[in-house]
Amino acid sequence: MSTSGYTPPKVWQWPWQSGDGSKFANINRPTAGARFEKSLPQGKHPLQLYSLATPNGVKVTILLEELLAAGVKEAEYDAFLINIMEGEQFSSGFVALNPNSKIPALLDTSTKEPTKIFESGSILLYLAEKFQKFIPQDPTKRTECLNWLFWQMGAAPLLGGGFGHFYAYAPEHYEYPINRYTMEVKRQLDLLNQHLATREYICSDEYTIADMAIWPWYGVLAQGHLYDAAEFLDVNGYEHVIRWAGLIASREAVKRGKMVNKTWGEPHEQLHERHDASDFDTSTQDKLEP
């Protein structure tokens, strides 16, 4: 195995002011905070979502669509597009809502003082508890649900920022990090495969926010739609994950949720902004493009 012979300096200095050659080079910096002044738009519903249809963004739109499908009218929402490749997450308005400058971010104006929620897991938990849906009420089952919700929050950065970066986005392929993160991702898939061998959903027979958190990362990966890595990871070997991934993907609310704030793929699958349920029929890109 080759090595670069790199020796870290005593004090790190940012070497990439002109870009590191990776997909996200133009937005990555070692500093936080707003980079320009711009207010966020606001729609007519109490729930205001600012997001993009990455796996973390899709978690939240799936839950919102599932809540609406379950008859929770108070879960109606406006979803505004935040184009992270253009750096829109660094506007003063977005940073005021989420100082970490990551999508998704949610504003709930139905509370006495508007409630700001960021981090996808926190948003899922907030909405599930607010509407008492998709989270078990039994304390033991609720804890199991939260175990897996927080597992996803801790595990996915190794899949995305680790494996995804070095396999799909880095300017060159480096053997050591690809091997390191591939080993971990396959361990995670094996964990899920063993767990799902004896239950229908992540939390036994109950569909919960744990499924909604895990599916956009690991279900989509198992179905071959993440990092073009299905063959490399031999995902077909994880039969129980494949079964579960298809079960979640077949839900109508999931189909709608993954369209919201999506700006790539087939035009009929893209709903850049969502302000009403009718938008799925009237405002997808195939309907708007001349």
**Amino acid residing at 216:** P
CA 140, CA 100: separation in Å to the nearest integer?
32
Residue 75 banded pLDDT, cuts 50, 70, 90:
very high
Q: Give per-residue pLDDT as tens, 122-155.
A: 999 999 999 999 999 999 999 999 999 999 999 9
Helix (H, G, I), strand (E, B) or coil at 106: strand
Q: What does pLDDT average to over the chain?
A: 95
Number of C-beta neighbours around residue 140 at 10 A: 8
Q: Which residues fall within 8 angstroms of residue 265, CB to CB, at 6 or more apart?
A: none
Number of C-beta neighbours around residue 112 at 10 A: 5
Q: Do 78 and 227 contact (CB within 8 A), yes or no? A: no
Note the pTM of the prediction, 2 decimals. 0.96
Q: Give per-residue pLDDT as tens, 146-181.
A: 999 999 999 999 999 999 999 999 999 999 999 999
